[in-house]
Amino acid sequence: MSRLMVFQHVAAEPLGTLHARIRARGHRIRFHNFQRDPDARPNVDRYHGLLVLGGPMNVTDQHCHPHLKTELQAIEAALRQEKPVLGICLGAQLLAHVLGAPVRRHSTHEIGWYDLLTTEPGRTDPVLGHLGEQSPVFQWHACTYDLPAGAVHLARTTGCEQQAFRFGANAYGFQFHMEADTAMIERWLQLPAYREELAAAGIGRDEQSIRAATEAQMEAMRPLAETTFNNFLDLVGRPARRMVLPSRQGLE
């Protein structure tokens, strides 16, 4: 039975629909919740894949969230061991940073529903190729990253170029939240910190408009998410082609 390690940063951003999909595929899950145990030192050696979830902190917050450096080291170890890695939102930014790409504040927030536009390589990608040219996804982020050297650009939105990438055969970064369900989105809309971020973002969206869009879009995203995660889980346990990581002076 395959064992997956999951890095969670806050209670409000769990595996979501991905949890049931992993269980249905027969994988065991080992959680490291850094909100509860910020001093954890996870070792990926005995695991078959790594999933890194989202969170309200940023890559540059290592001074106040030192566990981020621990995560960067674990991600780098998983890549060197050629294990499947999936980074979601903050997780994608951490993966990009490990691969030597800058992570920074974006010019605007993306909060709510957006059309994901796949690139030509994205439309033939083994994990995201089923999405076609355009599909609805849920977003909640204020940062972005540059495409890492050697990575394949898979998707964009009209307002944010970097939405998905693949490095090697089985490392993926998704800026968007395909794991989100209606209950998770509603939880975010009720949390004071998330509501304050939405109100301050100045993007012309409020809680009610996001709820209405969720009711309209969730049924379209759900089957796409299920196929996406099934495709990624197909990689778990498969041998990956050898990859060469960019040379780095050390994790910052």
Q: How is residue 109 annotated by DSSP?
A: E
Q: Per 3-state DSSP, what percentage of the chain is helix, strand, and coil (rounded to 5)?
A: 35, 25, 40
In a domain, 229, yes or no: yes
In a domain, 132, yes or no: yes
In order along its 252 residues, the chain shows pLDDT tens digits of 689 999 999 999 999 999 999 999 989 999 999 999 999 999 999 999 999 999 999 999 999 999 999 999 999 999 999 999 999 999 999 999 999 999 999 999 999 999 999 999 999 999 999 999 999 999 999 999 999 999 999 999 999 999 999 999 999 999 999 999 999 999 999 999 999 999 999 999 999 999 999 999 999 999 999 999 999 999 996 434 445 566 554 454
Our count of domains for the chain comes to: 1
Cβ pair 59, 143 in contact under 8 A: yes
Structural domain boundaries, residue 62: 3-235
In a domain, 245, yes or no: no
**Residue 148 in tokens:** 């890492």
**Residue 170 in tokens:** 């089985």
In a domain, 243, yes or no: no
Query: What's the rounded Cα separation, in Å, for the pair 50 and 84?
Result: 6
**Residue 243 in tokens:** 């990859």
Q: Tell me the sheet residues that pair with 173.
A: 87, 165
Hey, how many other C-beta atoms are within 10 angstroms of the C-beta on 106? 16
Query: What's the rounded Cα separation, in Å, for the pair 226 and 18?
Result: 8
Domain with residue 49: its CATH number is 3.40.50.880
Task: Give the pTM.
Answer: 0.93
In a domain, 27, yes or no: yes
In a domain, 246, yes or no: no
In a domain, 221, yes or no: yes
In a domain, 244, yes or no: no
